[in-house]
Amino acid sequence: MQIVYPSDANFILVKMHDARGIYHYLTEQKIIVRDRSKITLCDDCLRITIGSPKENKKLRKALKELA
């Protein structure tokens, strides 16, 4: 992760080194995130909704496996 943008919403916007690749990996893991790379000023960004504790743990585990 390069940048986690501040948020007052139920999601965070995160700038990644390879957002597209991470998006596809998370999708394979049955973790739904939104690729926002094509949105103006959101190059290499993923939108990640805050989920249940179980969902958040699964996301953290998947991201650690990529590191």
Helix segments in the chain, DSSP class H: 19-28, 53-66
Digit-coded pLDDT (tens) for 14-45: 999 999 999 999 999 999 999 999 999 999 99
Number of domains in the chain: 1
Look up residue 41 and give its DSSP letter.
Answer: T
pLDDT bin (cut points 50, 70, 90) of residue 67 is confident
The overall average pLDDT reported for the chain is 95
Residues 6+ away with beta carbon under 8 Å from 59: 26, 31, 48, 51
Site of tokens 């179980």: 54
Please report, for the domain that includes residue 61, its CATH number: 3.90.1150.10
Domain span at 43: 3-66
